[in-house]
Structure 1
Amino acid sequence: MLDVTSRKDETTARLAPVLSVENLTTSFRTDSGWKSVVRNMSFDIAPRETVAIVGESGSGKSVTSLSIMRLLQKGASRIEGKIRLGGKDLLSLSDEEMRGVRGKDIAMIFQEPMTSLNPIFPIGNQIAEALTVHQSLTRSQARAEVTRLLEKVRIPNAASRFDEYPHQFSGGMRQRVMIAMALASRPKLLIADEPTTALDVTIQGQILDLIKTLQDEEGMAVLFITHDMGVVAEVSDRTLVMFRGDIVEMGTTDDIFHRGKHPYTRALLAAVPRLGSMKGRALPQRFPIIDINTGEAMPFKDVTDTVAKTKTPILDVKDLTTRFDINAGFFRRHTGSVHAVEKVSFSLFEGETLSLVGESGCGKSTTGRSVTRLVRPTSGHVTVDGYDVMTLDASTLRTMRRSIQMVFQDPFASLNPRMSVGSAVTEPFVEHKLGTRRQAREKAADLMEKVGLSPDMMRRFPHEFSGGQRQRVAIARALMLDPKVIVADEAVSALDVSIKAQVCNLLLDLQQSLNLAYLFISHDMAVVERVSHRVAVMYLGEIVEIGPRAAVFDNPQHPYTRKLMAAVPVPDPARRSLKRNMSTDEIKSPFRPAGYVPPLRTYREVSEGHLVQTG
Structure 2
Amino acid sequence: MTAPILSVRNLTTAFRTEEGWREVVRNIGFDIHAGETVAVVGESGSGKSVTSLSIMRLLDPHQSRISGQVMVQGRNLLDLTERQMQDVRGNEIAMIFQEPMTSLNPAYTVGRQIAEVLIRHKAMDKAQARTAAIAIMERVRIPNPDRRFDQYPHEFSGGMRQRVMIAMALAARPKLLIADEPTTALDVTIQGQILDLIKELQAEYGMAVLFITHDMGVVAEIADRTVVMFRGDQVETGSTDHVFRRADHPYSRALLAAVPALGAMEGQGQPLRFPRVDMASGAIAPLPPMARPVDRSAAPLLSVRNLVTRFDVKAGLLNRPVSAVHAVEGVSFDLWAGETLALVGESGCGKSTTGRSIMRLVEPRSGAITLQGQDVLALKGAQMQAMRRDIQMIFQDPFSSLNPRMTVGQAVAEPLVKHGIARGKAARARAGELLDQVGLSPAMMDRYPHEFSGGQRQRVAIARVLGLEPKLIVADESVSALDVSIKAQVCNLLMDLQERLGISLLFISHDMAVVERISHRVAVMYLGEIVEIGSREAVFGNPQHAYTQKLIAAVPVPDPDRRLLRRNTPIDELKSPVHPLGYTPPRREWRNVGQDHLVMV
TM-score range normalised by the length of the shorter chain: over 0.9
Matched, 1:29 2:16: yes
Matched, 1:525 2:479: no
Determine which of 181, 184, 198 is the counterpart of 2:185: 198
Following the alignment from structure 2 to structure 1, what is the Cα–Cα distance between the partners of residues 353 and 522? Answer: 17
Give the corresponding residue for 1:330: 317
Bigger mean CA offset, 53-62 vs 288-297? 288-297
Cα offset, 1:516, TM superposition: 0.8
Deviation string, structure 1 residues 540-585 (Cα, Å, up to 9, x no partner) = 1000000011011111100000000000001111111111000110
Question: Aligned letter for 1:602?
Answer: E
CA contact (8 A) 1:124 1:163 kept: yes
Following the alignment from structure 1 to structure 2, what is the Cα–Cα distance between the partners of residues 361 and 39? Answer: 41
Matched, 1:377 2:361: no
3-state DSSP of counterpart to 1:402: helix
Alpha-carbon distance change, 500 to 308 in structure 1, aligned in 2, over 3 angstroms: same
Give the corresponding residue for 2:455: 468
Determine which of 67, 73, 77 is the counterpart of 2:60: 73
Where does 1:347-496 land on structure 2 (aligned, <5 Å)? 347-496=334-483
Following the alignment from structure 1 to structure 2, what is the Cα–Cα distance between the partners of residues 501 and 223? Answer: 27
CA contact (8 A) 2:270 2:289 kept: no
Where does 1:237-252 land on structure 2 (aligned, <5 Å)? 237-252=224-239
Question: Aligned letter for 1:67?
Answer: S
CA contact (8 A) 1:266 1:290 kept: no
Give the corresponding residue for 1:266: 253
Following the alignment from structure 1 to structure 2, what is the Cα–Cα distance between the partners of residues 255 and 432? Answer: 55
Give the corresponding residue for 1:339: 326
Following the alignment from structure 1 to structure 2, what is the Cα–Cα distance between the partners of residues 318 and 490? Answer: 23
Following the alignment from structure 2 to structure 1, what is the Cα–Cα distance between the partners of residues 494 and 514? Answer: 12
Give the corresponding residue for 1:9: none
Cα offset, 1:135, TM superposition: 2.5
Give the corresponding residue for 1:4: none
Alpha-carbon distance change, 478 to 69 in structure 1, aligned in 2, over 3 angstroms: same
Following the alignment from structure 1 to structure 2, what is the Cα–Cα distance between the partners of residues 408 and 293? Answer: 29
Give the corresponding residue for 1:228: 215
Determine which of 488, 492, 496 is the counterpart of 1:509: 496
Cα offset, 1:310, TM superposition: 4.4
Where does 1:109-128 land on structure 2 (aligned, <5 Å)? 109-128=96-115
Following the alignment from structure 2 to structure 1, what is the Cα–Cα distance between the partners of residues 411 and 442? Answer: 13
Matched, 1:177 2:176: no
Matched, 1:543 2:530: yes
Question: Aligned letter for 2:307?
Answer: L
Give the corresponding residue for 1:289: 276
CA contact (8 A) 1:313 1:347 kept: yes
Following the alignment from structure 2 to structure 1, what is the Cα–Cα distance between the partners of residues 51 and 60? Answer: 14
Matched, 1:612 2:599: yes
CA contact (8 A) 2:402 2:461 kept: yes
Alpha-carbon distance change, 566 to 301 in structure 1, aligned in 2, over 3 angstroms: closer
Cα offset, 1:165, TM superposition: 1.8
Question: Aligned letter for 2:14?
Answer: S
Cα offset, 1:480, TM superposition: 1.8
Following the alignment from structure 1 to structure 2, what is the Cα–Cα distance between the partners of residues 334 and 34? Answer: 57
Deviation string, structure 1 residues 500-556 (Cα, Å, up to 9, x no partner) = 111111111111111110000111111110000000000110000000110111111
CA contact (8 A) 1:306 1:350 kept: no
CA contact (8 A) 1:263 1:290 kept: no
Following the alignment from structure 1 to structure 2, what is the Cα–Cα distance between the partners of residues 512 and 243? Answer: 34
3-state DSSP of counterpart to 2:284: coil
Give the corresponding residue for 1:582: 569
Cα offset, 1:216, TM superposition: 0.7
Give the corresponding residue for 2:29: 42
Give the corresponding residue for 2:559: 572
Cα offset, 1:603, TM superposition: 0.6
Deviation string, structure 1 residues 304-355 (Cα, Å, up to 9, x no partner) = 1242444321111000000111122223343221111000000111110000
Matched, 1:253 2:240: yes
CA contact (8 A) 1:487 1:518 kept: yes
Bigger mean CA offset, 459-468 vs 519-528? 459-468
Where does 1:118-157 land on structure 2 (aligned, <5 Å)? 118-157=105-144
CA contact (8 A) 2:344 2:508 kept: yes
**Count of aligned pairs between the two proteins:** 601
3-state DSSP of counterpart to 1:134: helix
Bigger mean CA offset, 469-478 vs 254-263? 469-478
Unaligned runs of 5+ in 1: 1-13
Bigger mean CA offset, 32-41 vs 531-540? 32-41
Matched, 1:161 2:148: yes
Question: Aligned letter for 1:340?
Answer: A
Alpha-carbon distance change, 402 to 88 in structure 1, aligned in 2, over 3 angstroms: same
Following the alignment from structure 2 to structure 1, what is the Cα–Cα distance between the partners of residues 5 and 224? Answer: 15
Following the alignment from structure 2 to structure 1, what is the Cα–Cα distance between the partners of residues 334 and 91? Answer: 56
Cα offset, 1:299, TM superposition: 5.2
Following the alignment from structure 1 to structure 2, what is the Cα–Cα distance between the partners of residues 481 and 221? Answer: 54
Cα offset, 1:57, TM superposition: 0.2
3-state DSSP of counterpart to 2:131: helix
Question: Aligned letter for 1:103?
Answer: G
3-state DSSP of counterpart to 2:276: coil
Alpha-carbon distance change, 174 to 437 in structure 1, aligned in 2, over 3 angstroms: farther
Following the alignment from structure 2 to structure 1, what is the Cα–Cα distance between the partners of residues 472 and 578? Answer: 31
CA contact (8 A) 1:387 1:400 kept: no
3-state DSSP of counterpart to 1:133: helix
Bigger mean CA offset, 228-237 vs 146-155? 146-155
Following the alignment from structure 2 to structure 1, what is the Cα–Cα distance between the partners of residues 276 and 535? Answer: 26
3-state DSSP of counterpart to 1:486: strand
Following the alignment from structure 1 to structure 2, what is the Cα–Cα distance between the partners of residues 395 and 294? Answer: 51
Following the alignment from structure 1 to structure 2, what is the Cα–Cα distance between the partners of residues 410 and 147? Answer: 38
Unaligned runs of 5+ in 2: none
Bigger mean CA offset, 301-310 vs 411-420? 301-310
Give the corresponding residue for 2:7: 20
Determine which of 70, 82, 87 is the counterpart of 1:100: 87
Seq. identity, %: 66
Q: Could you say what the CA RMSD is over the residues aligned between the two structures, in angstroms?
A: 1.3
Deviation string, structure 1 residues 10-52 (Cα, Å, up to 9, x no partner) = xxxx121011100011111112211111111111100111000
Following the alignment from structure 1 to structure 2, what is the Cα–Cα distance between the partners of residues 609 and 257? Answer: 38
3-state DSSP of counterpart to 1:346: strand
Question: Aligned letter for 1:277?
Answer: A
Question: Aligned letter for 1:295?
Answer: G
3-state DSSP of counterpart to 1:401: helix
Following the alignment from structure 1 to structure 2, what is the Cα–Cα distance between the partners of residues 142 and 385? Answer: 64
Question: Aligned letter for 1:163?
Answer: D
Question: Aligned letter for 1:215?
Answer: Q
Following the alignment from structure 2 to structure 1, what is the Cα–Cα distance between the partners of residues 212 and 444? Answer: 32
3-state DSSP of counterpart to 2:15: strand
Give the corresponding residue for 1:3: none
Question: Aligned letter for 2:102?
Answer: T
Deviation string, structure 1 residues 89-128 (Cα, Å, up to 9, x no partner) = 1000011111111111111111111111122222222222
